Amino acid sequence: MKIKNIVFDLGGVIIDLDGEESIRRFKEIGITNAGEWLDPYEQKGVFLELENGKIDVATFCNQLRAYSGKDLSFEEIIWAWLGFVVDVPLYKLDYLLKLREKYNVYLLSNTNPIIQEQWARTSKFSEAGRPINDYFDKMYASYEVGITKPNRGIFEYMLGDSGMNPLETLFIDDGVKNIEAGISFGMHTYQPQNGENWIEAVDDIIDLS
């Protein structure tokens, strides 16, 4: 069946990640067990509660302040989160725009309102000065849906909201559990490595469909 929809993960696919740098930064500002909470695929503890929309930004920041015993500034917390981001290759973003000429292009990401609202959804996101939402037909962010991958609920929400047929959909994600969830819905899948140039691989899949 011909592919009509392409769904991308954000971190490790569109963005090159360095989880260790974010952990280092959170530890530097006083979150000593950040390594137990932060994960490239799904966070834990208060970090997960932010990503699945169970708490808001103010509550998250206040919990970090209470844990650290320090009056952490919002700027310090943003700085620590952005340690995850190594690079946002412009060639990948340009490719997304090219794909949108022929396909429906979506984002499905475990992410949080600090990363999104203070960086990704602003002109600081890309070298071209364009926010992330310029590159997708629609975005499904975990904190807005209220569910994180690999929970089936976030996939069900996306499929129901968009009306896409999973058999006509290519799902690209660097997490094996997320890929397994996509396969369970009948999606075509591709699992790149963090930092990989996956354009040729994606072209091959859609050309063969």
Digitized pLDDT (tens) for each residue of the chain, 209 residues in all: 899 999 999 999 999 999 999 999 999 999 999 999 997 777 899 999 999 999 999 999 999 999 999 999 999 999 999 999 999 999 999 999 999 999 999 999 999 999 999 999 999 999 999 999 999 999 999 999 999 999 999 999 999 999 999 999 999 999 999 999 999 999 999 999 999 999 999 999 998 87
Spatial contact of 129 and 93, defined as CB atoms under 8 Å apart: no
**Model confidence, pTM:** 0.95
CATH architecture of 19-84: Orthogonal Bundle (1.10)
Question: What residues act catalytically?
Answer: 9
User: Which residues of the chain does CATH 3.40.50.1000 include?
Assistant: 5-15+88-208
Query: Quick one: DSSP state of residue 126?
Result: S
Q: Does domain 5-15+88-208 have CATH number 3.40.50.1000?
A: yes
Spatial contact of 132 and 107, defined as CB atoms under 8 Å apart: yes
User: Which residues of the chain does CATH 1.10.150.240 include?
Assistant: 19-84
Residues in contact with 40: Cβ distance below 8 Å, sequence separation at least 6, in sequence order: 11, 12, 17, 19, 174, 175, 194
